Amino acid sequence: MARFIFITGGVVSSLGKGLMAASLGALLQARGYKVRIRKFDPYLNVDPGTMSPYQHGEVYVTDDGAETDLDLGHYERFTGVSARQSDNITSGRVYQDIIAKERRGDYLGATVQVIPHVTDAIKDFALADQSGEDGDLDFILCEIGGTVGDIESLPFMEAIRQLRNELEPMQTLSVHVTLVPYIAAAGELKTKPTQHSVRELASLGIKPDILLCRAEHELPEGERRKIAQFCNVRPEAVIQALDAPSIYSVPLQYHREGLDSEVLRGFGITDAPDPDLSAWEDVTDRYFHPEGEVTIGVVGKYVGLQDAYKSLNEALIHGGMANRTKVHIKWIDAEIFEGEESELAAALEPLHGILVPGGFGERGSEGKIASVRFARERKVPFFGICLGMQMACVESARSSGHGSASSTEFGETEEPVVGIITEWMSEEGLETREEGGDLGGTMRLGAYDAALSGNSLVSTIYGGETTISERHRHRYEVNAAYIPAMEKDGLVFSGMSPDGLLPEIVERPDHPWFVGVQFHPELKSRPFDPHPLFAGFIHAALEQSRLV
């Protein structure tokens, strides 16, 4: 059976628990262990699929079609292990299952309660599926969302407490992430919030084994001892976690602070192999020592909150790492292009690449279409993702004479170049939204194959592959009825669903680099394995930077 590491957070939110879990997973993996990381989200949404990206950041989609918390993206990027539906649970999902069972009469008349029914469901989730991609898992890391003391996380804490009692003594470990704030006026780091947070955790029956202390300044030895003494852990188990210059330096930094050795010690493991951190050394070397730089404009809607495009941001950086290039990202609100033409040129002219990302709804769509046109006419490398590809198709249809071309997502249109699948091919049996039905989980979600045409830019980019698998999250599809018109305009449909019906990739041979994809390649990019489309896009942007 696997060993379990429970990761909780205290004092404040936004301490980077997700990154910490991802980094610890990566460090254990570097020692040859098989790991999987799970996220427990105490909120009542069944999944984050219906949450606004402004509130919650991006929705991360797994191969098996789950809409999950963005922390799962960190886990995948850092460990390379593909996340699954079974790696993210919310209170909402637990209650949904329990209430469904109660309505069916499965509880045979019993009173259904938080303890044991909710806590049992949480424990079952933690213990489920202990198989890795290649053999049994050595470690399962469980990150609990929220902060100790939150009312809604109590059942999760209780489930951990019970598990720590029920499993073998050396089979679980509790890591608590806290903040040691620096009070500038006093010139001191303060340990009291950590003490309080650990006391709160202890009052729930969980004694932490390791404290990971986020701090802006070095933790002096005296403070470390003080924390150890008051919080009942060994001084070596108080690990300082200083702000890192890049998220990709975090695994190496935590290793230097002794986090992975302390975790192994906590489990009584004495024969662990030394870690092979060469992949992380290479990644950080590429990041910190670039040989070129480019500026990419992302013309989108949720530009006010970078977490809304988390994976995209990271994938662009990975594309930069592949080319040893520093990528500056300019987040541009598409709506500003809906007025003066000069505004558009002023914002887009200095860019070496233009990316129109995924999104929902009409707002900013004309600005996105205008950006596609600019990129096309000025021959600036262009990358359209999901809605971005749909807008590239609308732009093409319009320029081939279908002046009112649009997407039915934005309202009724005479020329539905993009439409809901049922509107033009319900017979395909694809998941579609019923009018007025539930919004949750009703999209084309998860991994689908696409067949690539030979002799295309994308087949070169994918190293000659003829079939690829990428993750999807969308309701609307490019309408195949308009393909001939768009082809006449010079757009090439170089990737189609294997049955040849749904456009998956478009490109323009008469352009230095113009690619639109219906899927989300950013979800599968990893620092040590940058996605080829992002590597290709940044390469093209680098060439462009030499021209301007």
24, 173 in Cβ contact below 8 A?
no
Q: Which is nearer to ligand GLN, 157 or 387 (CB)?
A: 387
Minimum distance from CB of 373 to ligand GLN (Å)? Answer: 19
Q: In the bound complex, what is the minimum distance in angstroms from residue 377's beta carbon to ligand GLN?
A: 24
Distance in Å, CB of 517 to ligand GLN, minimum: 10
Q: Which stretch binds ligand GLN (CB under 6 A): 8-16, 254-262, 322-330, 353-361?
A: 353-361
Are the beta carbons of 144 and 157 closer than 8 angstroms?
yes
Among 60, 462, 476, 519, binds ligand GLN (CB under 6 A): 476
Closest separation in Å from C-beta 441 to ligand GLN: 13
Residue from 10, 57, 320, 359 touching ligand GLN (CB under 6 A): that is: 359
Question: What HEC string does 216-267 produce?
Answer: CCCCCHHHHHHHHHHHCCCHHHEEEEECCCCHHHHHHHHHHCCHHHHHHHHC
Mask of contacts with ligand GLN, 394-433, x by CB under 6 A? ---------------x------------------------
Sequence-ordered alpha helix ranges (H) in 12-118: 17-30, 53-56, 71-79, 91-104
The minimum distance between CB 390 and ligand GLN, in angstroms, equals 6
Q: What is the DSSP letter of 460?
A: H
Stretch that binds ligand GLN, among 139-147, 190-198, 450-458, 474-482 (CB under 6 A): 474-482
CA atoms of 422 and 137, how far apart (whole Å)? 42
Cα 429 to the chain's mean position, in Å? Answer: 28
- Check binding of 34 to ligand GLN (CB under 6 A): no
Q: Name the one range near ligand GLN by CB under 6 A: 8-16, 298-306, 373-381, 469-477.
A: 469-477
302 binds ligand GLN per the rule CB under 6 A: no
Site string for ligand GLN, 123-162 (x = CB under 6 A): ----------------------------------------
Please report how close the Cβ of residue 435 comes to ligand GLN at its closest, in angstroms: 15
| Helix, coil or strand: residue 506 | strand
51-56-61-64 Cα dihedral, nearest 10 degrees: -70
- Residue range at the interface with ligand GLN (CB under 6 A); choices 364-372, 453-461, 471-479, 502-510: 471-479
Shortest reach from residue 53's CB to ligand GLN, in Å:
10
Planar angle of CA 66, 477, 65, nearest 5 degrees: 10
Per CB under 6 A, which region of 265-273, 298-306, 317-325, 355-363 contacts ligand GLN? 355-363
243 and 7 Cβ atoms separated by less than 8 Å: no
Q: Which residues pair with 292 in a beta bridge?
A: 325
CB 330 within 8 A of CB 371: no
SS3 state at 200 = helix
- Residue from 18, 57, 358, 532 touching ligand GLN (CB under 6 A): that is 358
Q: Of the two residues 209 and 409, which places its CB atom closer to ligand GLN in the complex?
A: 409
Active site residues: 386, 520, 522
| Residue of 43, 230, 360, 424 interacting with ligand GLN (CB under 6 A) | 360
Residue nearest to ligand GLN (CB): 358
Running DSSP on this structure, what letter comes out for residue 474?
A: E
The answer to whether residue 387 forms part of the interface with ligand GLN (CB under 6 A) is yes
Binding segment for ligand GLN among 116-124, 134-142, 356-364, 449-457 (CB under 6 A)? Answer: 356-364
- CB of 166 or CB of 438, closer to ligand GLN: 438
Work out which of 74, 93, 255, 475 binds ligand GLN, going by CB under 6 A: 475
Cβ pair 259, 250 in contact under 8 A: no
Query: For strand 67-68 and strand 60-61, is the pairing parallel, antiparallel, or unpaired?
Result: antiparallel
Give dist(CA 92, CA 98) in Å, integer: 10
Rule CB under 6 A: is residue 473 a binding residue for ligand GLN? yes
Compute how many residues bind ligand GLN; rule: CB under 6 A.
10
Edge-to-edge strand order for the sheet containing 35-41? 88-90, 35-41, 139-144, 3-9, 172-179, 210-215, 238-242
Query: Prior bond to 532 cis, omega within 30?
Result: no
CA 506 – CA 87 distance, rounded (Å) = 33
Q: Figure out which of the listed residues 38, 93, 474, 508 binds ligand GLN, where binding follows CB under 6 A.
A: 474
Interface with ligand GLN includes 364 (CB under 6 A)? no
Using CA atoms, how far apart are residues 383 and 391, in angstroms rounded to an integer?
11
Report the distance separating Cα 365 and Cα 360, nearest Å: 9
Minimum distance from residue 516 beta carbon to ligand GLN (Å)? 11
Q: How far is the CB of 453 from ligand GLN (least distance, A)?
A: 23
**The residue type at 465:** E
Binder among 126, 334, 386, 417 for ligand GLN (CB under 6 A):
386
**Residues within the interface to ligand GLN (CB under 6 A):** 358-360, 386-387, 409, 473-476
